[in-house]
Structure formats: structure tokens, C-alpha cells
Amino acid sequence: MARAADAVLETSIVGSFTKFGLSTRRSLPQWPADPAPHSLRDHVVLVTGGGSGIGAECARQLSMLGARVLLGVRTPSKGANTAAWIRDTVPGADVDVIDVDVSDFSSVRHAARNIVANELRLDVIVHNAGVLPRERLDSNDGHEITLATHVLGPLLLTELLRPALRASQNGRVIFVSSGGMYTQRLPVEDPEYHVGVYKGATAYARTKRMQVALTPLLAQRWAGDGISAHAMHPGWANTPGVVDALPGFHKVMEPLLRDARSGADTIVWLAASHPAPSSGRFWHDRRERSQFRIPRTRHSDQDVVRLWRFCCDALELPAV
């Protein structure tokens, strides 16, 4: 009965993605339990884009569970303000700011070196940093900016931090994707979006699709190191990113939007639940969800491998 009610919500999109989705699901029987208090004591977590919105609230929730929190930010003032807010609101909070522009490979390498030098282990990475550009931009390394921010930078960061995640013995990597990815097919022929008229929302959705498509492959790749990989989407949350990138949507939908804490709910659950949720899956509101809503957006396993090889070439990583 609970599963049927959840499934009805899931088909409706608005019913699922808005604040009603989470509040209704929470009230259903079989809602998965919250992480236990102190479940992240002695754990170290990194949240990219942790200076605002869902990332900031996620970092605060993880801190409340006892984690040492590293806020990965590219705007130092936002990191400092969020760190101060967490220290003010969470007694005994252990939080530090790491400067990192995840779209910039040299910044990613520098941040990873810092983390490896200063932390004995890393238990969770939340790849939350996200961008929806108004016009085409390329990263410092010459990659389309959403590809660099959502896919290439996070993959490089994770690969560089693998030894620290391995030391956790239960490392978890979480990609914060978007329900917008349901509208787009995996762009294996043109991952850099050279063909056609560039639209920021399309680039955003394609690269969020890539995160979800790559997650099962990454789960296999990292399993030998005891590292799990998860993708999720937060629904529609009222954050500075939505106000800035989608002002019309925000104006119309504001009364229905989740707050940032509700947007962070499934991230925190994936990060802190014991035992860990199954690796390689796509989640929303603490349940596994289909990767597809529209038949024309389906891809094959070979498409995913092709995309993975492209990423490895771009990052000069071994594919196996």
C-alpha cells in the first residue's frame, strides 16, 4: 500500500518533486529510518558547493550527526559564512573550509592534495556543486562548464581521494543530480555540446544525466576499495541557485518548493544510514527510482562505457 502510494506520487512529478512529495512519503508506513544520532562520529565528509543552498544545509545535518565537515567552496566568503553558521547552530561542530573550484582540474588537484595531507580518512564525498549557465562557458581546461562541474571535476576529485576513501573502509560517493535529467538522453556523440544551439538548461540536464548513467559503472570500479557510489535528485528546493538560474520558475512555484533541508534529506540518509544503501543506484526521497521516465531517453551499457572512456581520456585516467 505504501509502495503504491509512493508510486502514484512518483508518476505525478509535481506531487513528487515539491514539498508535498517528501511530507507525504514521510507519513507513509515503511519510510526508511533516519540515521541514528552520532552515526557520523569520527567520520570525515566533504560537501562541494557547501557554501549555500542544499550543500550548506546538507553539511549542517551531517555535522549534527557528528561528522567532521569539509566545505568545498569556490567563493571563500560563502564558505566562511556557512562554517560560522554551522558552528553557531551545532554544538561542538567540527567544520573547515576547503577552497576548490570543481570545474578546474588544477584547483581540484590542489584541494585533493590538501585533504590527503590533513585527513587520515575520508568517509563521504557529496558532489553537490552545480551550475546552470545562461550562456556557453568553457572551463579553464577547455571543457563545457556543466560537464566540467558536474562530471569531469567530481570524477577527478574522487579518483585523487580514493586512498582516503579506501581508508574509511565504507567510503560513500554521492552525486547530487537533478530530476531535469529525465528530459535528456545521454549525449555520447557530443558530450562537450558542440552541436546545435547551446542552451544552459539542456547542458545542465545532459550532464546531470551523465552523473546518473555513470553511477553503476563507478560503483563497480570502486567496489574493490570498499567505496559505494550513489546518485540522487533532491526534488525542487528553494535555494539561491534556483532564484538566480530559474527566476520565472521560482516565482510561480515558490509556495510549493521544498526547503533546502528537505532537498538535502536523501543525501544525508545516503551518507549516514547503516548498513549503507545499495551501491550504484539512483535515489529520490529515500527510495530507488528509475533512471528513465521517457522511452526516447534510454541508453545502452555500451553508451555508458563510451562516455566513461571519453571522461578517462579527458582526465588522463586509466579506464580500468
**Residue 142 Rama label (left phi>0; alpha psi -120 to 50; beta):** left
Binding window for ligand NAP (CB under 6 A); candidates: 74-82, 184-192, 282-290, 293-301:
74-82
CA distance 51 to 183: 28
What is the smallest separation between the CB atom of 53 and ligand NAP, expressed in angstroms? 2
Give the CA radius of gyration of the chain: 18
CA distance 106 to 119: 20
* Count of all residues that appear for the chain in the document: 320
Q: 187 or 263, CB closer to ligand NAP?
A: 263
Binding window for ligand NAP (CB under 6 A); candidates: 44-52, 209-217, 279-287, 309-317:
44-52
Q: Is 79 in the site for ligand NAP (CB under 6 A)?
A: no
List the one residue from 234, 281, 310, 314 that touches ligand NAP (CB under 6 A). Answer: 234
What is the smallest separation between the CB atom of 243 and ligand NAP, expressed in angstroms? 8
- List Cα–Cα distances, 70 to 44, 99, 137, 162, 307, in angstroms: 8, 10, 28, 16, 30
Q: Is 163 in the site for ligand NAP (CB under 6 A)?
A: no
Cβ atoms within 10 A of the Cβ of 103, count?
26
Q: Is 21 in the site for ligand NAP (CB under 6 A)?
A: no
Contacts of 105 (CB under 8 A, 6+ apart): 140, 141, 152, 153, 156, 315
The alpha-helical segments, DSSP class H, found in the chain are 2-12, 14-17, 19-27, 53-64, 76-89, 105-118, 145-147, 153-160, 162-168, 200-223, 240-245, 247-253, 260-272, 301-315
Q: Is 204 a catalytic residue?
A: yes
What is the smallest separation between the CB atom of 188 and ligand NAP, expressed in angstroms? 22
Q: 114 or 170, CB closer to ligand NAP?
A: 114
In the region spanning residues 100 to 139, those forming contacts with ligand NAP, defined by CB under 6 A, are 100-103, 128-131
In the region spanning residues 235 to 294, those forming contacts with ligand NAP, defined by CB under 6 A, are 236-237, 239-242, 263
Q: 9 or 66, CB closer to ligand NAP?
A: 9
The residues that touch ligand NAP, with contacts defined as CB under 6 A, are: 48-49, 51-55, 73-75, 78, 100-103, 128-131, 149, 176, 178, 233-234, 236-237, 239-242, 263
Give catalytic residue positions. Answer: 204
